[in-house]
Amino acid sequence: MTNRKMFFTMLWGAVFRRRSRAMMAVIASLVGAATLFCLASVCVAVPQQMNEEMRAYGANLIVTPASATGKSQGIDTATVRNVTALIGAGHSVKSAAYRYESVRINSAPYTIAGVDVKAVRALNRHWNVTGDWPGSGNVMVGRDVADALGVKVGSRVTIGYRAADASASASSSASAKSDSDESTETAESSAQGTQSTQTTQGEQTTQATENGRVSSDIMDNNGTEFRIAGIVDTGGNEDSIIYATTADMAKLAGSKRGADVVEYSVNAMGDELNAIVNRINKNTNTAVKAQTVTKITSSDTRIIAMLQTLFWIVSLVVLVLTLVGVGTTISSIVSQRRNEIGLRKALGADSRAIGVEFYVESGIYGLIGGLLGTAIGYVLARVLCATVFGRAIGFDWLLGAGSLLLSVAIAVIASIPPVRRATRIDPAIVLREE
């Protein structure tokens, strides 16, 4: 019998004739591989899954006109399509455009937004709406507006539009909408818009009074009657805005123009999202300015970073426990075969050959445990993602191959200390004990 044939015969006997000890080693590797693969799969899938979940809470990028002329005319449909195509290159994207005007209800000033109801509804799934969304002849008001007017769903209000009011509010309305973004650029534009609004309102007040009496234009309550279809309650700036369809807005204002703000929900985050913003701002042909919604993007990054850190810490702990468990099992196997090792050394087997046999045997245990553990880990990861995120994940073959190699490596590394002790056994002492 050749040495190679003898080697495989001894290996076969060690693995398959001592099934109980082999099962212990395989189970130790299996548990570690299943846990590590499950955690790694979830950790890899979490950023994408969390990003998709966070997109239900509104936009993470907004676009406004870059120039004063653009602010008065708004962002036209062609520009919106071009910017959407620029953002959507390689990313899934949702968008909604808002046209803002200043109106009066019972002589009090309010802001009204003309919107595409379907687009806004798809973008802001977190909005809590009592009643219905806007429709033809129907508006949706924010909670603060409803409380101020003392109205409810089904009530009717007369909304008056004044061109003088609209010219004063064109810039301030857009900045008020994006003020919740908490970015430096937005704060600056909001301050500028507020200052210009106060100046214009001061001029209007001077013109609207004569001999200490209020002008009849201020007290004019004429306008278009609308039914309140619903009340939106978000806890944000949306609560102070009235929402109407784009068609009703055009009829009310007597003209059509572009949007003041276009909100985007982009399936991107961090540096990738900032790169999209820079690409838009460097494109002078679009004549728009893009910026991230800091409150949303920072929350995304912070939550995902915390989850990933937690997963990797748990994975490291599991890796150490697996190493200890496999090492203990292999050490037990080597101890039980102490007499066999002594006899083989007495018959002329060298320490290197005995060590290689134990390393290969440990690698086989790791390979079998890794295969079974990876399969079980994938099932667990799939169930976990389906339960938490409501989405299935595919099998990552690269991660699967890494799991197998890691299982084999852990088994071999864990066997090094007991094997080195075994190869130092003095055959004379072992045989004397027999």
- Residue-wise pLDDT for 318-374, tens only, equals 888 877 877 787 777 777 777 777 777 777 777 787 788 788 888 888 899 999 999
- Calculate mean pLDDT across residues 123-152: 93
Closest C-alpha among 128, 98, 369, 375 to residue 230: 128
pLDDT for the residue 249: 93
pLDDT for the residue 202: 40
pLDDT band at 212 (very low <50, low <70, confident <90, very high): very low
Could you report the per-residue pLDDT of 294-313, keeping only the tens digit for each? 665 566 667 777 777 887 78
> Is the pLDDT confidence value at 135 over 70?
yes
pLDDT band at 183 (very low <50, low <70, confident <90, very high): very low
> Is the pLDDT confidence value at 411 over 90?
no
> Is the pLDDT confidence value at 233 over 60?
yes
Q: Is 198 left (phi over 0), alpha (psi -120 to 50) or beta?
A: alpha
> Is the pLDDT confidence value at 9 over 70?
no
Please report, rounded to a whole number, the percentage of residues in the chain having pLDDT higher than 90. Answer: 24
DSSP string for 90-117? TS-EEEEEEEEEEEEETTEEEEEEEE-H
Q: Which of 130-134, 281-285, 342-346, 416-420 has the lowest mean pLDDT?
A: 342-346
Kindly state the DSSP code that residue 295 receives in the 8-state scheme: H
> Is the pLDDT confidence value at 177 over 70?
no
Calculate ∠ Cα 41-45-51, nearest 5°.
165
Q: Is 235 left (phi over 0), alpha (psi -120 to 50) or beta?
A: left
Q: Which of 69-83, 148-162, 289-303 has the highest mean pLDDT?
A: 148-162
> Is the pLDDT confidence value at 39 over 90?
no
Please report, rounded to a whole number, the percentage of residues in the chain having pLDDT higher than 70. Answer: 75
pLDDT for the residue 210: 40
> Is the pLDDT confidence value at 201 over 70?
no
| Of residues 199 and 175, more confidently modeled | 175
pLDDT for the residue 188: 36
Could you report the per-residue pLDDT of 45-57, keeping only the tens digit for each? 776 666 666 666 7
> Is the pLDDT confidence value at 414 over 60?
yes
CA distance 219 to 190: 29
Kind of pairing between the strands at 224-233 and 128-131: antiparallel
pLDDT band at 252 (very low <50, low <70, confident <90, very high): very high
Query: 57-83 burial, b for 16+ CB within 10 Å, e for fewer?
Result: bbbbbbbbbbeeebbeebbbeebbebb
* Three-class SS state of 213: strand
CA distance 315 to 422: 31
pLDDT for the residue 18: 65
pLDDT for the residue 244: 96
Whether 110 contacts 104, CB under 8 Å: yes
Residue linked to tokens 């200052």:
195
pLDDT for the residue 274: 85
- Calculate mean pLDDT across residues 59-86: 83
pLDDT band at 14 (very low <50, low <70, confident <90, very high): low
pTM for this entry: 0.60
Q: What is the mean pLDDT of the chain?
A: 78
> Is the pLDDT confidence value at 223 over 60?
yes
pLDDT band at 205 (very low <50, low <70, confident <90, very high): very low
